[in-house]
Structure 1
Amino acid sequence: MREVVLHGRTFELYLEAEVVNQAVRQLALRLKEDFKGRDPLFVCIMNGSFMFASELMYAIDEDFEVAFARYSSYEGTSSTGQLREVMPVTQSLEGRVVVIVEDLIDTGFTMHCLQKRFYELGAKEVHIASMLSKPAALKCDVKTDYIALEIENKFILGHGLDYDNYGRMFKDIYQLKDEA
């Protein structure tokens, strides 16, 4: 599909799934090499990272531990500026090397808060692996160690990313066409 319409807003094709998949496979090779023998805990941030996390874990193809957590800071097309913990990590982070698996680094607010929180919970190291990053949108001091693709500062959906909980299951990524 070249365009999709959700909640009266039009989105146009931005990245085809195969472009994203290839970038994820390359990222997986780096992660596999960098964390081999270090017993990392990959913490997948739901709901957005579910597709990326699945593809990444399959491509890494190692016996690393995986956990899931859920935080929310978005409403509609913008950040609320507040992080809400919906489902915390249940595994102990004490002394662990943690890799946060995120779908998109936008303002960096969520990752800034999570890095700080995971260190407070005793993590030895906290790294970030993101499918996408918008460098022009970054507002927080956060270093993303692993990025599959850098993109422009447009609102997007698909491949796990949503617009008010819809659009996550599109395999391609679409950008908001009617954005002012």
Structure 2
Amino acid sequence: MVIGKTLLTEEQIRARIKELADRINADYKGKEILAVGILKGAFMFYSDLVRQIRVPLIVDFIVSSSYEDTTTTGKVNIHIDTRIPVTGRDVIIIEDIIDTGISLSYIKEKLLDKSPNSLKICVLLDKKERRLVEVDVEYAGFEIPDEFIVGYGTDYNDNFRNLPYVATLKHSG
């Protein structure tokens, strides 16, 4: 596998994160957020976004997986759950990408079972063409085409996460 066409540059990503943070700051003025990042993919987006959020926040993470190679398994595994109590808090799930919606729907339902005050979703990349389960996404960075992408936290078999931009992935040869 080799890196293909660049879809989003560092500059585009940085500017859009600032816009998302500004919206979150306005929406949560006077409140405290529990920002729940979904690892591993969201680590770059999460880090850059929370540094731009100016309202009080607490950080926490969930480690989940649902992909093998380039295909979703349709089964969501939660390897590590939140450690901070969710009950009564204003929660934002921060994820790198939503495609089928299966993972985010599952995680959202698990967190809603813990009775948060509110729960919203923020994603950098939205691949609407692949949606199998409808999930409300209140904060979305970019809508992208139905291509396998890597970079800025997203991966192929744990490779390419360190790219500072988002690109397509192509078969070599």
User: Shared fold (TM-score greater than 0.5)?
Assistant: yes
Q: In structure 1, which of residues 117, 121, 139 is the aligned counterpart of residue 110 of structure 2?
A: 117
Cα pair 2:32 2:55 within 8 Å, conserved: no
Q: In structure 2, which of residues 129, 133, 145 is the aligned counterpart of residue 140 of structure 1?
A: 133
**CA RMSD after TM alignment:** 1.4
Once residues 34 and 43 of structure 2 are traced to their aligned partners in structure 1, the CA distance between those partners, rounded to angstroms, is 16
Q: 1:76 is matched with which residue?
A: 69
Q: 1:20 is matched with which residue?
A: 13
Amino acid at match of 1:35: Y
CA offset digits 1:51-109 (Å, max 9, x no partner): 00111011113321111111111111121100101111011111111100000011111
Q: 1:3 is matched with which residue?
A: none
Cα pair 2:31 2:55 within 8 Å, conserved: no
In structure 2, the residue corresponding to 1:33 is in which secondary structure?
A: helix
Query: How many pairs does the alignment contain?
Result: 172
Unpaired runs of 5+ in structure 2? none
Deviation at residue 12 of structure 1 after TM alignment = 2.6
Question: So what's the TM-score if we normalise by structure 1?
Answer: 0.91
Matched, 1:106 2:105: no
Cα pair 2:153 2:161 within 8 Å, conserved: yes
Q: 1:42 is matched with which residue?
A: 35
Aligned-residue identity in percent: 31
Cα pair 1:42 1:98 within 8 Å, conserved: yes
Cα pair 1:11 1:178 within 8 Å, conserved: no
